[in-house]
Every structure is written in C-alpha cells, then in structure tokens.
C-alpha cells in the first residue's frame, strides 16, 4: 500500500491479487470508501513491495502464480495522474532475486531516487528468508538500474519494517520463516558506506513482531498491529501499537507498547497517515484466516489549550496529592488525601460513557505525592501501574515501589503489591519513562538531588543511581521528548526560580546533563502538560520573584531548546485558580485537573481546558 498526492493505493493481495484498490484522502483528513481501479496488475501478486517515485508507482516482486506460492522478480510501473492509474509499459528491468514480503525504502539522491529493497522470501513456507539487500537507482524518467554493493549483516528476515532516518537505514523485526516467534532485533546501516555492514544498535522489541503497518514521523516510529510469530498461514495477529522515539541524528530508541490499542487484532495489515488521521487497513483477524475488510481510524492529540471552565463538585470528596492515569478506556485516580490527612480511596471512571461518574474501586493506596508509570506486562498481556515512592500519612517519605496489575485490558486495577525499593526515600518527585527505563527525579527526602533509574524489561524493578547528575528541585514538572527528559518549573533548594533543563538519555541508560535549555516559570507546585511541541504550565504558586500567570506556555524547538514561558494567547492569557498538588490529564478533547489544594485546604472542583488544533 502507498500514499501519494491525496490518494491511497492498495496493490494486490490474496483474494484480489490482480486488483488495485483506491481511496481518496478528503479535506478533513478522513478516507473515502475504497473502490477498485480500472487498471489491473499484469501479473496477479500478493506480498508485493510498492513505492512511488517521480509520479510513478513501482510494484516490485511478490508471490505470483502458479498457486500464489512462488516469488516474482518482475516489476510493474504505472503513471499516476491524481487518482488515475496509467500503464507506463513494462520496464526493461527485474530484481536480481525473486522476492516477496520484502521491504522497500526510498532516498533522494540528487535528481535520482535510490531504492533499498531488503529481505523477503522466495517460496511460500520457505524456512529461510533472504538476508540480501538490493540497491536500485531510478532516474527522473523512470529508468531503473542496479547499484553494485557489498552490504552484509542484515540477517535473514521478511515482513520486517525498514525506514531511513538521515543516512541511517534501519531494519526492524520480521519473520524468521518458521512458525516460531518472529524477530525482536533491529539493525542499522549507514548508507554512505556502500560496502558496509548492518550493526546491532541495541534496540530490542518488547515482543516479536512481523507483518504489520509501519509509520515514520519526524520524532517517532509506530509499528501498528502485525503478528508475533511467522510462517505462511501461521501469523497470529495482535492489536498492539509499538512506539519508539527518533532523535535528530538518526538514533532509534527502544520500542514500547502504547496504551492505545487497535479495536481488533490485525496481522499482515497496513497503516496510513493522512496528515490528520491514522488508519489501520485490512489484514487477518485470525492466524491463516479471517481477513479483515474494515479500517480503523485514530487522530493525533490536539495541539493547543483554547478555553478554560470550572465544573464544581465533580469529585466525591476534596482530594490533593494524588495521581491520575488512563488505562485503555478507564480513568484511574489513586492515592492522595482529603486535606485532613485521611487517605483517599482509589476511584475509576469509564471514559467510553459521558457520565463522568467516579466509582470507588474498593481499596486505598495509602500514599500521597508519589509518581506513577504505566509499563508493559507480557505475563498478563496488558500493562501494570507502578506507584513509586510518596508520602506516608505521618508525613515521612517512602522508598517503596508498588505494582498494581490490571485484571484485563482497561479494567480496574487489583490491589497494589510491593515490587522493589528506591535507593533513597522521596516524595513530591516525578517519574519519566524513556524507552525501557524509568527515571525518578527530584522531590523531598534524604537525597532529593539524586536521580535513579531502572530497566522495565527486567524481572522486578532494580533501581540504580545515575552517576554525576544532581537535580535538587521541588514543585516542578517533567516529561520525555525524543530521548531526553525535560524538567520545567519549580524552585531550587534556596526557593529561587529554577530554569528549564534537559537530560539526554543514551541507549545504555547513561545520562548526560543537565543542560539549561530555557527559563523558568516563576511558579512551583503546578502541573505540566505537553501537547505536541508546546509545553503548558498550569497553576502553582509564585517562587523566587515577581508574580507570574498561572497558565503559561513555551515551545520546543527542533534543536532541543525550550523557549521562554509566556502568557497563553490568543486572549492575553487563560485564567485558572493557583492550584497546588493536583494532576493534569490529557483526554481527547480536554485537559482536566481534578481537586488539588487552594491555599491551606483541599478542593473538590474540576478545572477543564478545551483543546483545538491551532498554534499557541
């Protein structure tokens, strides 16, 4: 499947091997219904590779007749005129090796375009996929020619993901050619070295993956659906979406499952980004059978806070120092106190309804001012929630790390059980996940400046100190962006206004920094929200200087710097109470803050900010 000039083209496939099906990307970013193009393939084929170069659609290889079990080396070319396909004639060209389920990636090279065709298989059921890479140059008039190369180390794989970041060509996952687990590794080659080798860059998928949709954005890669095992007729589909951050230098972070899942498993499917929406298209719902003719559509989070309102009495009781998280369709509110020191119960809300009613989950975390992290749990096929550190009812800091396993995807958590301990007790701190590592920063405790981290892929959670990094601040916010941690707002140990800093995380967990990347907010104890490349500070109280507004924003630049925090436009600034000890949660159409502390007392009101897609 390819996307070009406002059209989506689905080429061949089992059941429609000679057909090209099309849909138009409409003005609002949605897809029209698919229909069959009048122009058909000359040779029916499935598992073909396709790419658009210079207004031409190139269809390479695939499985063909007899019986759709033998790979083809032939190439078909169509001229594209909007949604119209025109026969450009058979090119005097063929692949060096007949291959199906190969990956193709394109790179501009002067006036020409260079294609990298990697892996694939030659016979249906062949237990040994190809490890070869073909490099093909395409001239502006569509003439194709092979480039002689000697690139090694790719490993045998088909159904894998392949993409370019700068000059780095990545191959990720894929099918090993048997009915066993698919590949979990990723390898990278620098295309400037034509006789080089693919290297292991230390990226390991959390679960085996093959034959799914691949989307590459400037700052991240998504693997949508796919299968966790290989073999013809034995592709068990999954509904997960794996995400890895990309750095500007071509580096790829670790893949982790996103909380958002597909509505149903899809293997051997495709994914489309229209500029406004993500579509998961087709695929198989059951291993070897059950083809899916439907599409699923998702949109990106909106980019700007646009309006504010207060809804009184949304909580059953006042609450401060809590955490709010979303697991699938369920909103969870954990921990905190009612302002008198009494622990607050765990509440949950079904986000698939519009009732907005919280239900008591029947247990209490017994902590406040802790941080949380949602991490994959392969044993239950879902996620578990980590509750890290916090403040006991007597005011002392905790070093406990609790694991709250979900009963099933998106349902209420069970009671939380001990998982491990921090190196230093702390409260009022922040948790940030980068790749497969959890970082714990700042706060109040015996060693508030110490930064700790733990690998989330290991059994249990063993924390270690991050060497040579000191981050002693309180009342701040933190978030991950690419392979870095940004710390904004809050106060330094002397009560002064702390600047915005960045910590860069290397693949081995080593941390560089902190580097000052922007000014402070002039406030402490508020909440931080990141919407695409805009960072919002909400609430809090003044720290170390003149009064500053409770709602401010700053913009993240491509070079990793954070602009100065300023009033949030367009109306000269958005208002809200100077709330402390609250949590901000981004929902599809709103940012919501429940409860918190105003002055000396906890409140039960809810602050709601509407969202839109404009630029602040």
Closest CA relative to residue 209, chosen from 224, 227, 221, 236:
227
CA distances from residue 314 to 274, 346, 356, 431 in whole angstroms, order as listed: 37, 15, 8, 27
Residue for token pair 């990956």: 103
Closest CA relative to residue 367, chosen from 433, 303, 443, 313:
443
Residues whose CB is less than 8 angstroms from the CB of residue 325 and which lie 6 or more positions away in sequence, other chains included: 331, 332, 334, 372, 374, 385, 585
Closest CA relative to residue 60, chosen from 22, 85, 93:
93
Does the CA dihedral 281-45-129-103 come out positive or negative? negative
349 upstream amide cis, omega within 30 of 0: no
Q: Where are the domains of the chain?
A: 2-216
- pLDDT for 312 equals 46
Q: What is the pLDDT of residues 438-469, one digit of tens each?
A: 899 999 988 888 899 888 754 456 788 887 88
Contact assessment for residue 159 and residue 209, using Cβ atoms and an 8 Å cutoff: no
Q: Could you give the angle at the alpha carbon of 331 between the alpha carbons of 325 and 332, nearest 5°? A: 60
- In the chain, what is the greatest distance between 2 CA atoms, to the nearest angstrom? 81
pTM (two decimals): 0.66
> Quick check: 348 pLDDT over 90?
no
Contact assessment for residue 458 and residue 506, using Cβ atoms and an 8 Å cutoff: no
Q: What are the b/e assignments for 287-313, b being 16+ CB within 10 Å?
A: beeebbeebbebeeebbbbbebeeeee
Terminal C-alpha separation, the chain:
36
> Quick check: 231 pLDDT over 60?
no
Closest CA relative to residue 463, chosen from 472, 478, 477, 452:
452
> Quick check: 162 pLDDT over 80?
yes
Q: Which residues pair with 611 in a beta bridge?
A: 305
- pLDDT for 458 equals 47
Give percent above pLDDT 90 in the chain. Answer: 23
Q: What is the pLDDT of residues 37-76, one digit of tens each?
A: 888 888 888 889 999 998 899 999 998 876 777 889 999 9
> Quick check: 571 pLDDT over 50?
no
Q: What is the pLDDT of residues 374-421, one digit of tens each?
A: 776 655 445 678 899 999 998 899 999 988 765 544 455 666 788 889
| CATH number, span 2-216 | 2.120.10.80
């Amino acid at each position: 499947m390819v996307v070009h000039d406002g059209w989506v083209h689905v080429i061949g496939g089992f059941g429609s091997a000679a057909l090209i099906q099309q849909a138009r990307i409409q003005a609002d970013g949605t897809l029209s219904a698919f229909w069959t193009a009048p122009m058909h393939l000359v040779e029916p084929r499935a598992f073909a590779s396709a790419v658009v170069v210079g207004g031409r659609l190139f269809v390479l290889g695939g499985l063909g007749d007899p019986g759709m079990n033998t790979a083809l080396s032939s190439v078909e070319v169509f001229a594209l005129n909007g949604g119209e396909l025109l026969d450009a004639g058979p090119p005097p060209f063929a692949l060096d090796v007949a291959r199906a389920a190969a990956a193709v990636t394109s790179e501009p090279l002067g006036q020409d375009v260079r294609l990298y065709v990697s892996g694939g298989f030659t016979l249906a059921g062949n237990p040994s996929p190809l490890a070869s890479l073909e490099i093909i140059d395409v001239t502006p008039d569509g003439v194709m020619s092979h480039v002689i190369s000697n690139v090694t180390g790719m490993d045998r794989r088909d159904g894998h993901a392949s993409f370019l970041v700068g000059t780095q060509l990545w191959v990720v996952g894929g099918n090993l050619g048997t009915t066993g687990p698919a590949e979990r590794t990723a390898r990278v080659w620098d295309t400037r070295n034509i006789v080089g080798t693919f290297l292991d860059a230390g990226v390991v998928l959390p679960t085996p993956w093959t034959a799914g949709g691949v989307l590459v954005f400037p700052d991240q890669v998504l693997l949508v659906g796919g299968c966790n095992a290989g073999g013809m007729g034995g592709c068990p589909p999954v509904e997960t979406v794996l995400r890895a951050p990309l750095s500007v230098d071509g580096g790829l972070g670790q893949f982790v499952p996103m909380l958002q899942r597909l509505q149903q498993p899809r293997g051997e499917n495709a994914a489309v980004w229209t500029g406004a929406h993500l579509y998961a298209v087709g695929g198989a719902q059951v291993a070897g059978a059950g083809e899916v003719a439907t599409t699923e559509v998702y949109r990106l989070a909106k980019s700007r806070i646009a309006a504010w309102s207060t809804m009184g009495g949304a909580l059953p009781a006042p609450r401060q120092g809590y955490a709010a998280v979303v697991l699938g369709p369920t909103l969870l509110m954990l921990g905190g106190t009612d302002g008198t020191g009494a622990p607050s119960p765990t509440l949950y809300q079904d986000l698939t309804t519009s009732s907005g009613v919280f239900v008591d989950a029947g247990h209490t975390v017994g902590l406040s001012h802790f941080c949380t992290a949602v991490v994959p749990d392969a044993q239950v096929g879902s996620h578990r929630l980590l509750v890290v550190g916090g403040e006991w009812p007597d005011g002392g800091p905790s070093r406990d790390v609790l694991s709250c396993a979900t009963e099933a995807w998106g349902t209420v958590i069970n009671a939380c059980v001990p998982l491990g301990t921090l190196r230093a007790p702390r409260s009022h701190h922040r948790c940030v996940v980068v790749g497969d590592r959890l970082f714990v920063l700042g706060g109040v405790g015996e060693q508030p400046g110490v930064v700790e981290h733990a690998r989330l892929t290991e059994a249990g959670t063993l924390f270690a100190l991050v060497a040579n990094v000191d981050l002693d601040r309180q009342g701040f916010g933190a978030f991950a962006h690419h392979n870095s941690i940004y710390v904004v707002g809050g106060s330094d140990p002397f009560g002064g206004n702390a600047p915005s800093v960045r910590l860069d995380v290397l693949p081995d967990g080593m941390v560089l920094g902190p580097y000052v990347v922007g000014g402070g907010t002039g406030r402490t104890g508020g909440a931080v929200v990141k919407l695409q490349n805009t960072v919002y500070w909400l609430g809090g109280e003044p720290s170390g200087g003149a009064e500053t507004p409770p709602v401010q924003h700053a913009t993240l630049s491509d070079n990793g710097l954070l602009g100065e925090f300023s009033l949030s436009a367009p109306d000269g600034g958005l208002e809200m109470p100077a709330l402390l000890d609250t949590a901000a949660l981004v929902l599809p159409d709103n940012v919501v803050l429940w409860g918190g502390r105003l002055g000396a007392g906890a409140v039960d009101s809810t602050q709601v900010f509407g969202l839109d897609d404009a630029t602040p």
